C-alpha cells in the first residue's frame, strides 16, 4: 500500500494523477531520488495548479507546497495524535532520514457512536398511541403492561416502574429499611449511581474490590467487610456479566443481609439459568438511552415480595395512601415513570430476545475480527453457570497502552469509552473504600467498544484494527 502512495518529484503532474487514481487516497507523498520525503500532493493541489495555468507535463516538484505535515516515527505514538487535523486525511510517517515508512489515516467520514438505541419495532406506534390517548403522565395501560412484561421477563412476580435507575436503587434501599447507621457493601468498579443511592438513603457505603475474571464484586472481599452494622449488599452485574450469585447469596444468608441487585447493565443476563434481578430481595434496572433496554429515561425495581412491592409503590408516589387521597403515611418521593416512557418499554420487551441476540452477534464479530491482537482480552464466556449479555463490547487491553489506543480511536471518530474510574480513586468516595487492587488494574486497562447496529461494520473494524496495530510492528 505504501508503494502506491509514493511519487518521484521529477514525475509529471499527469503521472501523479495516475498514482492517485490507483491508490484511491486523493494524495501522493512526493520523494526524491534517495526516497526522502519532500512534499505531499493532493488532488486538490493538482486541480488548483492546472487552473492556474500549469500543464499536465509539469514536474510535481514545481507544484508541491513548501510546507506540509508529516509525523516522525521517532516522536513516538503521541505525535500521531498531536498532529490530528480534521482537514488532513492522510499523513506520512518518516524515519530519521526522512524516508517514508508508514502513513496514518483519519477516516473523517465514519463516526461510530458508542451506543445507539434500537427503536425499530413498535416503539413509535405505541408512543403515539399513548400520546393520542392523552394518558401522558404516570397513569395508563402501558405502565401496567410494562411492569407486568418486564418482571415476567426477569422471572419475578412484581415490577415497580420508576423514573430512572438511580431512583430504582434508592427506592429499593428505602423499602428494605436501609438508613442512617447501616452499612451497605458495594463494588469499587461501578457507575457512581450505585454509591450515590446508598448516600441518598443516608446509609454508609463500604466499597470492596472486584474479582479480576468477572469484573464484579469479589465474594471474599464482601465476607471480610461484614460488620455488625452491615445491612445489605449491592452486587452490580457489571458490563453484562453476572456476579457469582451462589457466593453472594450464601454470605447474605449467613449474615441475614438484604441483597439489592444493580442490573442496570445486564438486562437478561443469567446465573445458573436464572435471570439477574431475581436472586436478591429487589433487582434494579435502568432504561437510559444507551442501556440494553431503553425508555429514554426510566428504571424498574423487580421483586417477589408483595410487601416490598407495596412499600415501593407508596414511596414512589409521594408516600400517599392508596385508599385515602392526600393522606401521607411516609415521607415519599415522586419517582414515577410516565405512560409515554412505558409505551416505548413495552415495544422494547416485545423484541428483547432479538435485541440481546443482535448484541451477542456484534460481540462475536469483534472477537473474530480482533483475534489477531493478542493484547485484547475479551471477558470469558465459559464461566461456571454464567450466561453474560452484551451491553457495550467490553475488553481489557493488556499492553499497558489503553489511553493511547483510546485517544487514537477517538481521533478516528470511533467513540470508545474507558472503564469506570474506581470509586475509591475519587476524593468524594475515597473514605468509604477498602483496598481495591483489582478494580484499579481493570479500570486502567478496560475499554468499551461501540455496539451500534451497523449496516456495514467492515470499515469500522478496519479502522479499529489499523488504529490498534499502529506502532506495533
Ligand X SMILES: *Cc1c(COP(=O)(O)O)cnc(C)c1O
Residues noted as catalytic: 291
CA distance 266 to 13: 58
128, 148, 113: which is closest to 346 by C-alpha? 148
Tell the smallest beta-carbon distance from residue 163 to ligand X (Å). Answer: 8
CA distance 108 to 413: 7
CA distance 212 to 438: 6
Q: Which of 64, 154, 264, 269 binds ligand X (CB under 6 A)?
A: 264
- Site mask, ligand X, residues 124-163, x = CB under 6 A? ----------------------------------------
The window from 56-64, 164-172, 403-411, 455-463 that contacts ligand X (CB under 6 A) reads: 164-172
Of residues 61 through 90, those in contact with ligand X by CB under 6 A are none
Q: Which residues share a beta bridge with 186?
A: 207
Determine, following the binding rule CB under 6 A, whether residue 204 of this chain makes contact with ligand X.
no
Q: Which three cell numbers stand for residue 167?
A: 431512583
Tell the smallest beta-carbon distance from residue 337 to ligand X (Å). Answer: 11
Instruction: Say if CB 260 and CB 176 are below 8 A apart.
Output: yes
Determine, following the binding rule CB under 6 A, whether residue 165 of this chain makes contact with ligand X.
yes
For 150, 299, 303, 376, the CA distances from 282, given in Å and listed in that order, are: 14, 13, 5, 35
Determine, following the binding rule CB under 6 A, whether residue 394 of this chain makes contact with ligand X.
no
Determine, following the binding rule CB under 6 A, whether residue 198 of this chain makes contact with ligand X.
no
Instruction: Say if CB 299 and CB 165 are below 8 A apart.
Output: yes
CA distance 104 to 82: 12
Determine, following the binding rule CB under 6 A, whether residue 118 of this chain makes contact with ligand X.
no
Determine, following the binding rule CB under 6 A, whether residue 294 of this chain makes contact with ligand X.
no
* Residue 193 or 460 with smaller CB distance to ligand X: 193
Determine, following the binding rule CB under 6 A, whether residue 268 of this chain makes contact with ligand X.
no
Determine, following the binding rule CB under 6 A, whether residue 194 of this chain makes contact with ligand X.
yes
Determine, following the binding rule CB under 6 A, whether residue 446 of this chain makes contact with ligand X.
no
Q: Which of 236, 312, 314, 346 binds ligand X (CB under 6 A)?
A: 236
Q: Give me the numbers of helices (H) and strands (E) for the chain, helices first please.
A: 15, 20
The window from 4-12, 36-44, 259-267, 269-277 that contacts ligand X (CB under 6 A) reads: 259-267
Tell the smallest beta-carbon distance from residue 4 to ligand X (Å). Answer: 46
23, 57, 26: which is closest to 41 by C-alpha? 26
Q: List Cβ neighbours of 334 (8 Å cut-off, separation of 6 or more).
A: 163, 316, 317, 318
CA distance 300 to 151: 9
Q: Which of 92, 205, 219, 299 binds ligand X (CB under 6 A)?
A: 299
Widest CA span of the chain, in angstroms?
Answer: 93
* Residue 104 or 288 with smaller CB distance to ligand X: 288
CA distance 294 to 144: 17
DSSP conformation class of 140: S
Tell the smallest beta-carbon distance from residue 396 to ligand X (Å). Answer: 18
Determine, following the binding rule CB under 6 A, whether residue 286 of this chain makes contact with ligand X.
yes
Q: Which of 147, 265, 281, 363 binds ligand X (CB under 6 A)?
A: 265
Judged by CB under 6 A, how many residues of this single chain contact ligand X? 14
Instruction: Say if CB 166 and CB 298 are below 8 A apart.
Output: no
Tell the smallest beta-carbon distance from residue 139 to ligand X (Å). Answer: 21
Tell the smallest beta-carbon distance from residue 298 to ligand X (Å). Answer: 7
Q: Which three cell numbers stand for residue 212?
A: 479480576
Q: Which residues share a beta bridge with 285?
A: 300
Residue number of the CB closest to ligand X reads 165
What are the φ and ψ backbone dihedral angles of 155, each rounded to 5 degrees? 75, 30
Determine, following the binding rule CB under 6 A, whether residue 211 of this chain makes contact with ligand X.
no
* Residue 94 or 276 with smaller CB distance to ligand X: 276
The window from 17-25, 85-93, 152-160, 260-268 that contacts ligand X (CB under 6 A) reads: 260-268
Determine, following the binding rule CB under 6 A, whether residue 288 of this chain makes contact with ligand X.
yes
CA distance 251 to 355: 34
Residues near ligand X (CB under 6 A): 164-166, 190-191, 193-194, 236, 262, 264-265, 286, 288, 299
Amino acid at each position: 500500500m505504501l508503494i502506491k502512495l509514493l511519487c518521484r518529484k521529477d514525475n509529471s503532474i499527469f503521472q501523479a494523477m495516475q498514482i492517485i487514481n490507483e491508490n484511491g487516497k486523493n494524495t501522493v507523498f512526493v520523494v526524491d531520488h534517495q526516497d526522502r520525503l519532500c512534499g505531499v500532493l493532493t488532488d486538490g493541489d493538482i486541480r488548483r495548479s492546472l487552473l492556474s495555468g500549469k500543464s499536465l507535463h509539469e514536474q510535481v516538484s514545481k507544484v508541491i507546497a513548501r510546507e506540509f505535515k508529516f509525523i516522525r516515527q521517532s516522536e513516538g505514538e503521541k505525535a500521531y495524535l498531536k498532529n490530528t487535523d480534521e482537514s488532513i486525511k492522510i499523513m506520512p510517517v518518516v524515519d530519521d532520514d526522512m524516508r517514508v515508512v508508514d502513513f496514518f489515516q483519519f477516516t473523517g467520514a465514519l463516526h461510530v457512536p458508542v451506543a445507539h438505541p434500537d427503536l425499530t419495532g413498535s416503539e413509535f406506534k405505541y408512543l403515539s398511541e399513548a400520546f393520542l390517548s392523552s394518558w401522558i403522565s404516570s397513569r395508563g395501560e402501558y405502565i401496567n403492561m410494562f411492569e407486568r412484561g418486564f418482571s415476567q421477563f426477569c422471572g419475578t412476580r412484581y415490577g415497580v416502574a420508576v423514573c430512572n435507575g438511580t431512583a430504582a436503587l434508592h427506592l429499593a434501599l428505602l423499602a428494605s429499611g436501609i438508613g442512617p447507621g447501616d452499612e451497605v457493601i458495594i463494588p469499587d468498579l461501578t457507575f457512581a449511581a450505585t454509591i450515590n443511592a446508598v448516600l441518598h438513603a443516608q446509609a454508609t457505603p463500604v466499597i470492596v474490590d472486584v474479582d479480576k475474571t468477572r469484573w464484579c464484586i469479589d465474594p471474599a472481599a464482601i465476607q471480610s467487610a461484614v460488620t455488625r452494622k452491615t445491612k445489605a449488599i449491592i452486587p452490580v452485574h457489571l458490563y453484562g456479566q453476572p456476579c457469582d450469585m451462589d457466593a453472594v447469596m450464601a454470605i447474605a444468608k449467613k449474615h441475614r443481609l438484604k441483597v439489592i441487585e444493580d442490573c442496570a447493565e445486564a438486562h437478561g443476563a443469567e446465573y445458573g439459568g436464572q435471570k439477574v434481578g431475581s436472586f436478591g430481595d429487589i433487582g434494579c434496572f435502568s432504561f437510559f438511552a444507551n442501556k440494553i433496554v431503553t425508555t429514554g429515561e426510566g428504571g424498574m425495581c423487580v421483586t417477589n415480595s408483595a410487601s416490598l412491592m407495596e412499600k415501593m409503590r407508596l414511596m414512589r408516589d409521594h408516600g400517599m395512601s392508596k385508599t385515602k387521597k392526600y393522606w401521607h403515611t411516609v415521607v415519599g418521593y415522586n419517582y414515577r415513570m410516565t405512560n409515554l416512557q412505558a409505551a416505548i418499554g413495552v415495544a422494547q420487551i416485545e423484541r428483547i430476545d432479538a435485541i440481546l441476540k443482535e448484541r451477542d452477534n456484534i460481540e462475536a464479530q469483534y472477537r473474530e475480527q480482533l483475534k489477531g491482537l493478542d493484547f485484547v482480552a475479551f471477558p470469558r464466556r465459559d464461566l461456571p453457570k454464567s450466561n453474560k449479555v452484551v451491553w457495550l463490547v467490553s475488553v481489557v487491553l493488556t499492553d499497558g497502552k489503553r489511553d493511547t489506543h483510546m485517544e487514537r480511536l477517538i481521533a478516528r471518530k470511533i467513540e470508545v469509552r474507558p472503564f469506570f474510574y474506581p470509586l475509591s480513586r475519587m476524593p468524594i468516595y475515597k473514605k468509604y473504600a477498602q483496598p481495591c487492587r483489582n478494580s484499579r488494574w481493570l479500570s486502567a486497562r478496560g475499554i468499551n467498544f461501540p455496539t451500534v447496529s451497523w449496516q456495514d461494520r467492515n470499515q469500522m473494524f478496519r479502522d479499529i484494527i489499523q488504529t490498534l496495530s499502529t506502532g506495533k510492528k
